[in-house]
Amino acid sequence: MREIRYREAVREAIREEMEADERVFLMGEEVGHYQGAYKVSEGLLSQFGEKRVIDTPIAEAGFAGIGIGAAMTGLRPIIEFMTWNFSFVAFDQIISNAAKIRQMSGGTFDVPIVFRGPNGAAKQVASQHSHSVDPFYTNIPGIFVVMPATPRDAKGLLKTAIRCQDPVIFLEGETLYNVKGEVPELDEEELIPFGKGRIGREGKDCTIVAFGRPYYEAMQAAEKLAADGIECEIVDPRTLRPLDIELLVESVKKTHRCVVVHEHWPYGGPGAEIVDQIQREAFDWLDAPIHRVGSLDVPMPYASNLENFVLPTVERISDAVRRVSYAK
Amino acid sequence: MALSPDDPTLGLFQVLREDLSEPLPEGEDPRSHPENDPELSEDTLRAMFRHMLRVRLLDERMMMRQRQGRIGFFGAITGQEATPIATAFCLEEKDWVFPALRENAIMLVRGFPLTQWLAQVYGNSLDVLKGRQMPSHMSGRSVNQVSWSSCLGPQLPQAVGAAMAAKYKKTGAVTIGFIGDGATSEPDFHCAMNFAGVSNAPCVMICQNNHWAISVPSKKQTRSATFAVKAHAYGIPGVRVDGNDILALRAVIGEAVDRARKGEGPTFIEAVTYRIGAHSSSDDPTVYRSDEEVELWRRKDPIQRFERYMRFKGLLSDDERAQLEKELVEEILAAIENVESAAPPARETLFEDVFEERPWHLAEQQDELLEHDPAPSAH
């Protein structure tokens, strides 16, 4: 299988869906002439023109609303937030409108729209620019939340998102865009369904649930722990809403131990939701309490050394696995 | 930029004489500006009058029902009937409406059945929205009208988005977006006006300036001379029109719709009107505004002003007026009776329409809920 970067995988998904469906268009800040703040949309303007790759004024609330109106009346917008941090000014459009319109209208209107962009910390962009927004959006019925870690998942899930009849929150990552990974050939179309997780690494001793950027820290921790004889199974749910609880529970029933790793803050969020669901479904199989590793409960600092302490590190993940394994 | 005093954003476009307090001598023209009269057909004039009166009578009866505790909330449009009714008469079937609080009557003019409209007030099993949405937040897929947003403003960028979509798909449809004077202070107003200008989308944005955002007067919303004048900042045409003058509204909105349809871009219209009643059933306006002010505006009542014109044209006699009111009241009462007797929405419907397909966890929640006996319907 060929290897491409995450950024290219996202771009391929957008390009293929725009080629296949005239109703699909891309809109956001700097997506056209600048080719995207992170070069995700490189080449799309020259291929599709200004009608379908739209550079907007700087107004997230504005173009979120524009997209919702267009989606309600028959188009399929892809709205790029330069980063998800900037989606907060569009919160009302997403939560009170996109997520509710199908339900409020008794199913007579729908909003087939994808909101996408990089989520979480980059490097040294400080507190207002490093939010993991997944806890905010996963709380809301009526929207899907997708958080792919690998290029293959990013492509296959984004294609599904663009074809979805409901609003989708698609969370990429600034530090993921350069990640390389295997992706099927261009002529082998792959659509990855929502609600289906993936085993990233098989193991018998402890399940690590990880999604988004910390998936890679979890993989590294698993390698280190393997050297000490602890074989971890890494399960990536890939979509947080809907959640593939069956796969997570199946893994925990095999390993009897579980650590949940996430980039968001520790209070609530999908990390806590996953723990809650696993303890209910697999209580009798657990040999230890489930532990979580997330960002420290502080706004993100700018200084590089401090930032590294805040994010879930390989060391903290390894420690948590040892704790639930009662190992030193 | 110095604006000339006769700039359309500073003046007040009118057809009909404004003040009703002086009785008009027999045969005297009730128009102050006959040159602005859109010269509508007799059938259209009769239909417009019928719809204005219908919504006035309907509002009176719905406010009574709210006071009797039969419905939870209601926002009447008394005194503001002219703008929604005039708008409806400017539209083609394919056009879209993104309303604010006081434009639901447009649906009725465009053929939405009165019983279904009322069912949205009662939120019962006859309601196509399945009891999900507040009264006065009606929507109708069949008449291309969406619900407005309880957080003020979001419908306006959505309206511009729908207009951009119409341009994209070359449907020739025009979108009308509404906002009140209060919500022009929201960021969404700025975003919508800005995008409308930049995209040159086929939309008409109408601000119903009814002078009061609940208890806050329009002077506290803006220091601009008028609301219409804001259009200049966005590079789009603006017009200030008498919002209690249905003929003036029909002329101004009609022209804006035609311009949009021809690809000549958006227009911003300020319709100057007055909320005669309370903001909603939850409000008592006597604590913040004077009886004198309300009385001043009662003398500019849009239905009576239009009625004088209808009589002048020989299109309405005392007998016809009485007969029309009788017919409308009978229709409204029959519809209310029909809707009030419907059952509340079924419990199972709670789990529908959250997503296109019902996810497993909602199926599970439904099973759990249905294990219990139905709860009493009261809160």
pLDDT at B27: 85
**From the CB of residue B223, how many other CB atoms can be counted at a distance below 10 Å?**
6
Strands (E), B224-292: 238-242, 267-272
Q: Is A38 on the interface with B (CB under 8 A)?
A: no
Tokens 């290029």 correspond to what residue? Answer: A151
What are the Cα distances from residue A154, in Å, to A10, A11, B262? 6, 10, 42
Q: Which one, of B333, B246, B256, B208, lies nearest residue B49 by Cα?
A: B246
Provide DSSP, A220-272.
HHHHHHHHTT--EEEEE-SEEES--HHHHHHHHHHHS-EEEE-SS-SSSHHHH
Residues of A with CB below 8 A from B168's CB? 25, 51, 70, 75
* A66: nearest Cα among B194, B162, B248: B162
CB A234 within 8 A of CB A225: no
What's the whole-number mean pLDDT along residues B215-230?
A: 94
**C-alpha R_g of chain B:** 22
Cβ neighbors of B53 (< 8 A, separation 6 or more) are: B303, B324, B325, B328
Neighbour-count burial of B200, counting CB atoms closer than 10 A to its CB (0-12 exposed, 13-18 middle, 19+ buried): middle
Q: Is A221 found in the same domain as A161?
A: no
Do residues A318 and A266 share a domain? yes
B353: nearest CB among A73, A89, A102:
A102
CA B68 to chain A, closest CA, distance in angstroms equals 26
> pLDDT band at residue B20, thresholds of 50, 70 and 90?
confident
Average pLDDT over residues A262-290: 98
* Cross-chain residue pair A108–B139, CB shorter than 8 Å: yes
Q: What is the pLDDT of residue B378?
A: 47
* Closest partner CB to A65 (pick from B128, B147, B188): B188
Work out the average pLDDT over B185-206: 97
Q: Is the dihedral of CA B33, B34, B36, B40 positive or negative?
A: positive
Token digits of residue A151: 């290029």
Residues A274 and A126 in one domain: no
> Under 8 Å CB-to-CB from A251, ≥6 apart: which residues?
A199, A207, A233, A235
A17 versus B371: the higher-pLDDT residue is A17
Catalytic residue among A42, A129, A190, A250: A129
Where is the domain boundary, A151, A182, A213?
Answer: A182
Q: Under an 8 A CB cutoff, do B161 and A141 touch?
A: no
DSSP reduced 3-state for A77: strand
Residue with tokens 């579980």: A258
Mutation to test the B interface, candidates A23, A48, A56, A66, most B Cβ within 10 Å: A66
Residues A17 and A149 both lie in one domain: yes
Cβ contacts of A103 on chain B, cutoff 8 Å: 132, 353-354
Q: Which of A15-19, B49-53, B312-316, B357-361 has the lowest mean pLDDT?
A: B357-361
**CATH number of domain containing A243:** 3.40.50.920
Q: Are residues A176 and A37 in the same domain?
A: yes
Chain B CB contacts of A274 below 8 Å: none
CB pairs under 8 A between A and B: 144
Quick one: average pLDDT of A217-229?
97
pLDDT at B376: 54
Q: Chain B contact for A190, CB < 8 A?
A: no
Residues A167 and A250 in one domain: no
**Does the active-site annotation cover B372?**
no
Q: What is the pLDDT of residues A8-67, one digit of tens each?
A: 999 999 999 999 999 999 999 999 999 999 999 999 999 999 999 999 999 999 999 999
Nearest chain B alpha carbon to A244: B360
Residue-by-residue DSSP string for A260-319: EE-SS-SSSHHHHHHHHHHHHHHGGG-SS--EEE---SSPPPSSHHHHHHHSPPHHHHHH
Torsion of CA B114, B116, B122, B124, to 10 degrees: 150
Q: Which residues pair with A5 in a beta bridge?
A: A180
Give pLDDT, residue B1: 64
pLDDT of residue B379: 47
What are the structural domain ranges in chain B? 34-214+224-345, 347-379
At B94-124, the pLDDT tens digits run: 999 999 999 999 999 999 999 999 999 999 9
Inspect the interface and report whether the beta carbons of A66 and B360 lie closer than 8 Å: no
Instruction: In whole angstroms, give the CA distance from residue B207 to residue B153.
Output: 11
Which among A62, A74, A97 has CB closest to B165?
Answer: A74
Look up the domain containing A316 and give its range. Answer: 198-324
* Contact present, B198 and B157 (Cβ < 8 Å): no
Does a structural domain hold residue A188? no
- Say whether both A166 and A28 belong to one domain: yes
Same domain, A153 and A44: yes
Question: Averaged over A296-315, what is the pLDDT?
Answer: 95
State the best of A58, A104, A138, A274 to mutate against chain B, taking most chain B CBs within 10 Å: A104
Distance CA B304, CA A175 (A): 67
Tally the domains of chain A.
2
Mean pLDDT calculated for residue range B197-207: 97
Percent of chain B with pLDDT over 90: 85
The residues near B260 (Cβ < 8 Å, ≥ 6 apart) are B163, B174, B202, B203, B204, B266, B267
The mean pLDDT of B164-172, rounded to a whole number, is 97
A128 close contact with B: CB closer than 8 A: no
Residue B26 — pLDDT band, cuts 50, 70, 90?
A: confident
Asked whether B111 and B175 are in contact (CB, 8 A), the reply is no
Mean pLDDT across chain A = 97
Does the pLDDT of residue B375 top 90, yes or no?
Answer: no
Among A138, A153, A182, where does a domain finish? Answer: A182
B52 touches B306 (CB < 8 A): yes
Cα dist from A43 to A26, A49, A116, A240, B224, whole Å: 12, 10, 18, 31, 44
For B34-214+224-345, CATH number out of 1.10.1740.10, 3.40.50.150, 3.40.50.970, 1.10.150.120 equals 3.40.50.970
A58 within domain boundaries: yes
Q: What amino acid occupies position B134?
A: M
Contacts of B233 in chain A (CB under 8 A): none
Query: For residue A27, what is the domain's CATH number?
Result: 3.40.50.970
Please answer yes or no on whether B353 and A242 come within 8 Å at the CB atom. Answer: no
Residues of B in contact with A101 (CB under 8 A): 146-147
Q: Which of residues 223-262 of A touch B (CB under 8 A)?
A: 242
Picking from A182, A213, A232, the residue at the C-terminal end of a domain is: A182
In a domain, A262, yes or no: yes
Residue of A73, A79, A139, A164 to mutate for B, most B C-beta atoms under 10 A: A73
Residues of A in contact with B169 (CB under 8 A): 23, 74-75
Smallest Cβ–Cβ distance between A105 and the set B139, B165, B166 belongs to B139
Structure confidence at residue B30 (pLDDT): 95
Q: Is A220 on the interface with B (CB under 8 A)?
A: no
**Which one of A78, A105, A164, A281 makes the best mutation probe of the B interface by having the most chain B beta carbons within 10 Å?**
A105
What residues of B are in contact with residue A63 (Cβ under 8 Å)? 157, 191, 195
Query: Quick check: B377 pLDDT over 60?
Result: no
CB contact under 8 A, B139 and A104: yes
B288 a catalytic residue = yes
Residue B280 has pLDDT above 90, yes or no: no
- Which of B162, B194, B356 is the closest to A59 by Cβ? B194
Mean pLDDT of chain B: 94
Residues whose CB falls within 8 Å of the CB of residue B95, separated by 6 or more in sequence, listed in order: B144, B173, B174, B175, B176, B257
Are residues A31 and A163 both part of a single domain? Answer: yes
